[in-house]
């Protein structure tokens, strides 16, 4: 795109594209370079490979269990025991 392809819109802070962008033109998303996108019918559309979509069909989402709570309690109790043993042995 060249500067000549844009004109100031009714709001001076906004520019309008006055030339057509062909469908299939690659689009780079600022801040998300890993997301493949292209221009289709006047809009930016994400592009996914068919293999990626097929692999997602087998993924099952599940809520995490409460094991994190149990492990957190074990860690806190374990640290408490270590601190207790270190403080009582230093006093002797």
Q: Distance between the two ends of the chain, CA-based, in angstroms?
A: 79
For residues 30 and 16, give the distance between their C-alpha atoms in angstroms, rounded to a whole number.
19
Half-sphere exposure of 72 (CA within 13 A, CB side): 4
Domain ranges of the chain: 20-57+66-90
45-76 b/e with 16+ CB inside 10 Å = b? Answer: eeeeeeeeeeeeeeeeeeeeeeeeeeeeeeee
pLDDT in tens, 16-32: 666 788 899 998 888 88
| pLDDT for residue 77 | 95
pTM of the full predicted structure?
A: 0.40
pLDDT in tens, 25-61: 998 888 887 888 998 988 889 888 777 777 777 888 7
| pLDDT for residue 10 | 60
């Amino acid at each position: 795109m060249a500067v000549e392809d844009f004109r100031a819109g009714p709001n001076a802070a906004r520019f309008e594209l006055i030339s057509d962008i062909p469908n299939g033109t690659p689009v780079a998303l600022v801040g998300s370079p890993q997301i493949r996108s292209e221009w289709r019918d006047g809009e930016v559309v994400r592009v996914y490979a068919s293999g990626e979509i097929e692999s997602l069909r087998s993924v099952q989402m599940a809520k995490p269990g409460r094991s994190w709570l149990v492990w957190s309690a074990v860690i806190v109790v374990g640290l408490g025991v270590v601190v207790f043993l270190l403080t009582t042995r230093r006093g002797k």
